[in-house]
């Protein structure tokens, strides 16, 4: 079976390689290269916390092989370990051999302690004494003082000691935990930096240089950084949970100290201390990554937005607006006449925020219903919903508490909305609410009219500047009826049947997609042109993969634009010769989900919140809406064709599961993201 499918974890590792490749690309601005390095490290953190943690659990309990390829967990782990070791080595090679030297040449320097001037040493000693020491707790341990708890992904130091403490007891080891309240990178003042330069020092260097002062009376013979990554999966029993908020709060606290799955240690750490740490955390050499540099590279992201170094960053741009929204006309009046399709981040997300703000302020609006999966701190959308609820409007918000790594923020958000008088409904345990929908009910000329926004991405005002997504604003009566039914499904748990403009998981989307794939298959068998294009984040649902294999054998031309996971194996003779898979990795995170079916010339276009994964089809509440207007269909077709023509930021999946980056060679360069920037957005004029 493994010859037919690609393992999910291994495919995700390949995606992280493509992200790191952006950091290795000399054509990318220097600070943006550093940012991609940080993103690759953040991705790896989550990969260990969730994917590797789950894999290790299955290995420990001897669970049967998972996934359509049915590869044993130990076999997958062993292959992953090789790839992960290579990736981590490449990360630090990139940082030490390329980025640090090139940044230094550009006037952004990260100083090693050996390079501190006397003046800098004095300033850093004062900084250590006044800003660091008051919040540090140096520790020694023995049978009566056990090894302290280590917080997930926290910065720590294992210290070798000699001598006796104040109580006459001999000490061999100590530890220093760096509180999360301390910045990991400190910028030196201009007065002790080279003229015109930005100079930074790592907190780890400051602690290491001054660690002896934390253990007076003892000799320090070495100080070595380490970081432990823990299992961060949350486990909520669908049957037993009676209070989801309390259950999640308990799980969130427990996950901070879950089972260790990885340890990163400074490469100079001696073997005996490394073995001591491995023994304590019940880890092996296979879980150990000896690193030549700071153990928490993702903290370098704080340096990536130096405002006075625009030449080291991507050129800024002004987000555009579709022609329909360029007037000062009321948004509801505009939607009474036409629908609006937005393409983020090239076009602004502000119309969506303004739509909800207008609904909150409009006395003719009676009700607002919205799903929230991720919103971000200080969300203006949440502010508008609070305003609407306080003004007496019926506000219903479906909040998915189990949005991974946003659980605590969403609990706080739910409390805020409830205090304002909104009706808050939590996503159903076991069936995450991942749909992106807003429904506004407004009195218009004596009638109640539904206005709505549907999207492929989250209502997160920050990520809309870096994630590519489609947003759709409409007052279509039939579409409004469908959205109303979907909200009833989410609040009253009744099935949304009889929809004419939408498909939804977990009830209708999978069957509809299977039917449409089979229709293309039959058309090909009948000698008719047949084609499928899907642009999603991931594909691993085995029945959909098998249906695509069958379509390929029948002659259907299939193009898949997949950013991340792909378990389908393309280009296999007699199976998937007509399937082509590519991944676009560039300045923006490709996040939009689009399904296209030729349908014997009567083309169908759908935008969706759902990827082609088992969880999206059967274990989530997802929305999928049809695009029917010719101009919008033409726009999306053009966008898909542009992605398929990209030869600058496109990677092609090979049959062995690896990816090859395309190069334009002698052909004209085509970068889909650059074209969208040129045609949908405007260059930003930066004044000197």
Mind telling me the catalytic residues?
A: 434
Sign of the Cα torsion 9, 12, 18, 19 reads negative
Give dist(CA 380, CA 358) in Å, integer.
12
Residue matched to tokens 């020694």: 140
Token pair of 223 as six digits: 């100080």
CA angle 250, 251, 256 (to 5 degrees): 105
Cα–Cα distance list, 224 to 291, 299, 438, 647 (Å): 11, 18, 51, 45
Other CB atoms within 10 A of residue 180 CB = 11
Q: Where are the alpha helices (DSSP H) in 350-447?
A: 350-361, 380-390, 407-420
Cα–Cα distance list, 175 to 10, 146, 168, 548 (Å): 36, 11, 19, 55
Give dist(CA 582, CA 537) in Å, integer.
11
Give dist(CA 464, CA 458) in Å, integer.
8
E strands along 381-507, which residues? 394-399, 423-426, 432-433, 437-444, 447-455, 467-474, 502-505
Closest to 17 in 3D by CA, of 69, 80, 74: 80
CB 560 within 8 A of CB 568: yes
**DSSP3 helix / strand / coil % (the chain, rounded to 5):** 40, 25, 35
CB 374 within 8 A of CB 461: no
Token pair of 527 as six digits: 């000698």
E strands along 609-645, which residues? 620-627
Other CB atoms within 10 A of residue 268 CB = 11
DSSP designation for 306: -
Closest to 476 in 3D by CA, of 596, 349, 628: 628
Looking at the DSSP bridge assignments, the partners of residue 457 are none
Indicate left, alpha or beta for 376 from its phi (over 0: left) and psi (-120 to 50: alpha). left
Give dist(CA 289, CA 225) in Å, integer.
12
Give dist(CA 375, CA 352) in Å, integer.
13
Looking at the DSSP bridge assignments, the partners of residue 452 are 439, 474
Q: Name every residue whose Cβ is closer than 8 Å to that of residue 194 and which is 6 or more positions away in sequence.
A: 107, 109
């Amino acid at each position: 079976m493994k010859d037919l499918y690609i393992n999910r974890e291994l495919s995700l590792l390949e995606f992280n390689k493509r992200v790191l490749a952006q950091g290795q690309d000399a054509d990318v601005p220097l600070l943006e290269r550093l940012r991609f390095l940080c993103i690759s490290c953040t991705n790896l953190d989550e990969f260990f916390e969730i994917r590797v943690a789950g894999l290790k659990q299955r290995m420990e309990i001897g669970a049967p092989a998972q996934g359509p390829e049915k590869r044993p967990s130990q076999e997958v782990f062993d292959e992953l370990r090789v790839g992960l070791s290579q990736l981590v080595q490449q990360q630090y090679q990139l940082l030490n051999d390329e980025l640090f030297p090139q940044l230094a040449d550009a006037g952004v320097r990260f100083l090693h302690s050996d390079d501190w001037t006397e003046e800098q040493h004095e300033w850093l000693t004062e900084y250590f004494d006044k800003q660091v020491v008051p919040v540090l707790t140096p520790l020694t341990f023995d049978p009566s003082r056990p090894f302290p708890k280590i917080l997930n992904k926290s910065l720590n130091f294992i210290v070798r000691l000699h001598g006796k403490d104040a109580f006459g007891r001999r000490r061999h080891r100590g530890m220093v935990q760096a509180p999360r309240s301390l910045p990991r990178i400190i910028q030196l003042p201009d007065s002790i930096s080279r003229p015109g330069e930005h100079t930074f020092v790592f907190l780890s260097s400051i602690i290491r240089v001054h660690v002896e002062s934390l253990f007076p009376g003892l000799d320090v013979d070495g100080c070595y950084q380490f970081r432990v990554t823990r299992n961060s999966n949350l486990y909520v029993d669908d049957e037993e949970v009676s209070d989801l908020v309390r259950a999640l709060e308990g799980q969130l606290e427990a996950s901070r100290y879950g089972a260790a799955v990885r340890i990163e240690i400074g490469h100079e750490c001696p073997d005996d201390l490394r073995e001591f740490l491995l023994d304590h955390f019940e880890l092996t050499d296979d879980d150990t990554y000896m690193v030549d540099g700071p153990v928490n590279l993702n903290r370098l992201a704080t340096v990536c937005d130096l405002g006075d170094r625009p030449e080291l960053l991507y050129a800024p741009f002004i987000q555009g607006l579709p022609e329909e929204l360029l007037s000062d006309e009321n948004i509801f009046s505009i939607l009474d006449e036409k629908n609006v399709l937005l393409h983020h981040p090239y076009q602004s997300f502000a119309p969506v925020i303004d739509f909800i703000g207008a609904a909150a302020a409009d006395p003719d609006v009676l009700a607002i219903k919205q799903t929230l999966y991720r919103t971000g701190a200080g969300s203006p959308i949440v502010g508008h919903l609070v305003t609407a609820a306080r003004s007496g409007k019926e506000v219903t918000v479906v909040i998915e508490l189990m949005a991974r790594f946003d659980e605590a923020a969403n609990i706080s958000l739910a409390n805020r909305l409830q205090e304002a008088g909104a009706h808050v409904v939590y996503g159903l345990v076991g069936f995450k609410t991942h749909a992106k929908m807003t429904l506004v009910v407004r009195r218009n000329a004596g009638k109640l009219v539904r206005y709505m926004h549907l999207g492929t991405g989250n209502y997160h005002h920050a990520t809309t500047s870096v994630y590519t997504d489609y947003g759709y604003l409409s007052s279509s009566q039939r579409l409004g009826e469908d959205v109303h039914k979907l909200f009833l499904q989410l609040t009253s748990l009744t099935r949304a049947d009889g929809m004419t403009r939408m498909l939804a998981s977990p009830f209708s989307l999978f069957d509809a997609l299977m039917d449409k794939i089979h229709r293309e298959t039959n058309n090909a068998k009948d000698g008719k042109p047949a084609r499928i294009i899907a642009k999603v984040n991931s594909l691993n649902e085995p029945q959909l993969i098998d249906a695509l294999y069958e379509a390929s054998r029948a002659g259907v031309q299939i193009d898949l634009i997949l950013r991340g996971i792909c378990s389908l194996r393309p280009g296999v003779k007699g199976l998937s010769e007509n399937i082509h898979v590519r991944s676009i990795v560039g300045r923006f995170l490709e996040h939009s989900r689009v399904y296209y079916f030729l349908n014997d010339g009567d083309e169908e276009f759908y935008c969706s919140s759902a990827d082609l994964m088992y969880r999206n089809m059967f274990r989530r509440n997802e929305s999928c809406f049809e695009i029917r207007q010719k101009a919008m269909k033409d726009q999306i077709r053009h966008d898909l064709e542009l992605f398929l023509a990209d030869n600058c930021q496109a990677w092609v999946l090979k049959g062995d599961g690896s990816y090859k980056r395309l190069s334009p060679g002698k052909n004209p360069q085509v970068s889909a993201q650059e074209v969208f920037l040129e045609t949908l957005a405007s260059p930003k004029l930066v004044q000197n």
